Amino acid sequence: MAAIIDLSGHVAVVTGGTRGVGAGITRALLAAGAEVVTCARRPPDRPVEAAGRTARFLPLDLRDPDAVGTFFDRVHDDHGRLDTLVNNAGGTPFRLLADSDPQHAARLVALNLVAPLSASLAAYELMRGQERGGSILMIGSVSGTRPSPGTAVYGAAKAGLDNLARSMAVEWAPRVRVNTLVLGMVRTELSHLHYGDEDGIASVGRTVPLGRLADPTEIGDACVFLASDRAAYISGASLHIHGGGERPAFLDAATVNN
């Protein structure tokens, strides 16, 4: 992607950009030439690097609105601009609703919906005054598009995030573009916690039409495109990156050839 799109001079923030999908996004942006600032509550075990370049890390609890505002002010003071925000931070443990409680649900909504809203509001205040505006990317999930047993609150928050992005795209046009990447299953360093050993990961991958889980760099390549001028007329869109989706269970239950 870096050979096709040049983001030199471009400043990007990737929340939760130090591991997993976030690290893949960070590496893709670095490889395309962007300056990248990552944030998380804890520093990474090692810096995120690509193409001989290193992302900057600043600690941040995204659930603290005052801290979020201070963080974006610092990014602007240090780098002079902000071109792209990737709202990647989020996640959930597996927990059935009957085993949950309202406090747990509130924490999940705060991380997966309210925190991206706070970050986007702070980023918009910087981008709106720039000649070239800016781009905000939400990292969504197929959990927000279908039933999500065991992660129901997370799925509801991701559905809300996609809707929020479409409203932002209308309210903040034409200065700021807002889009959502709706992710399916991605292979990261934590995949074994969800799918088991290599055989389990491969078996899960075979349920995807393309036959495998996504690599984080493939998510990053999509972010590079949407952050670039090549996507200048794309806003309010939801780009599904899920390898073709999930094979419907009824096809395997049917008694005819499928």
> How many other β-carbons are positioned within 10 Å of the β-carbon of residue 226?
23
CA–CA distance, 155 with 201 (Å, rounded to integer): 22
DSSP string, 71-129: HHHHHHHHHS---EEEE---------GGG--HHHHHHHHIIIIIHHHHHHHHHHHHHTT
User: Do the strands 49-50 and 53-54 form a parallel or antiparallel pair, or are they unpaired?
Assistant: antiparallel
Query: Catalytic pick from 124, 154, 195, 233?
Result: 154
Residue type present at position 156: A
Distance CA 97, CA 150 (A): 7
Cβ neighbours of residue 231 under 8 Å, at least 6 residues apart? Answer: 135, 177, 179, 225
Question: What 3-state class would DSSP assign to 220?
Answer: helix
Three-state secondary-structure class, residue 26: helix
**Is the N-terminal amide bond of 174 cis, ω within 30° of 0?**
yes
Task: Please say if 233 is a catalytic residue.
Answer: no
For residue 218, give the DSSP letter. Answer: H
Task: Retrieve residue 169's tokens.
Answer: 């795209």
Which residues are identified as catalytic? 154
